[in-house]
Amino acid sequence: MASGDTLCRFGPLHNEPTATLAALWGVRNQHPILSFDDTTNWYCVFSDVMPQNYAGTTGVTVYIHYAMASAVADTVDWDAAFERIGDQQLDIDGDSFAAVQSVDNTTVPGTAGLVDIVSIAFTDGAQMDSVAKGESFRIKINRDAASDDATGDAQILKVEIRET
């Protein structure tokens, strides 16, 4: 697959809520959203099978489409982490996410309802928890509320994974 091609797409309705600190499902003008608190880190999780046309060389880039509930100033931080499920790779009775990769200090849009897109690159291998084509995986995304400084919720509308 060529660099920049879409591998997976997720929306709020694909979220598999974490047992605790799950992002809140809701709607904004009937657009489904996942809301993330500004003080405590909340999480969303999506799962899929890595497409067969993933080349497995240059890694992937995760694009997060978000809007702020009300903030029109300051910054927002996002973290993401992969978990390989694979073929007899992971006992799903426990979690095994790789280290988070981040996009930090993004100045939020000047209008609260404007959707901004930020990206986090993962190199092939450990950063992706070595997810290979044809293997199922999960990706966990959180707002790093403990580190950013925009007030009020941040809301995810879409997530896209592209080949880097």
Partner 1 sequence: MIADTKKCQTMINITAQQILIIRAAVDVMKQIRAIFLTINPDTTGTPLEGNVQLVNTALNDLDTTVNEGVDGAVWDAMIAAIVPTHRNKALEEE
Under the binding rule (CB under 8 A), the answer on residue 151 touching partner 1 is: yes
Question: Token digits for 119?
Answer: 């990206």
Closest C-alpha to 79, from 26, 126, 34, 139: 139
Under the binding rule (CB under 8 A), the answer on residue 38 touching partner 1 is: yes
Under the binding rule (CB under 8 A), the answer on residue 44 touching partner 1 is: no
User: What are the backbone angles phi and psi of residue 130, rounded to the nearest 5°?
Assistant: 60, 30
Residue whose CB is less far from partner 1, 6 or 70: 70
Under the binding rule (CB under 8 A), the answer on residue 70 touching partner 1 is: yes
User: What are the backbone angles phi and psi of residue 8, rounded to the nearest 5°?
Assistant: -150, 150
Q: How far is the CB of 146 from partner 1 (least distance, A)?
A: 6
Residue whose CB is less far from partner 1, 150 or 159: 150
Could you give the CA distance from residue 49 to residue 63 in angstroms, rounded to a whole number? 17
Q: How far is the CB of 33 from partner 1 (least distance, A)?
A: 11
Q: How far is the CB of 80 from partner 1 (least distance, A)?
A: 21
Rounded to whole angstroms, what are the CA distances from 12 to 7, 58, 112, 115?
17, 27, 19, 14
User: Are 107 and 4 spatial neighbours (Cβ–Cβ below 8 Å)?
Assistant: no
Q: Which of 29, 39, 52, 88 binds partner 1 (CB under 8 A)?
A: 39
Q: How far is the CB of 153 from partner 1 (least distance, A)?
A: 4
Interface residues with partner 1 (CB under 8 A) are: 35, 37-40, 69-71, 74, 145-153
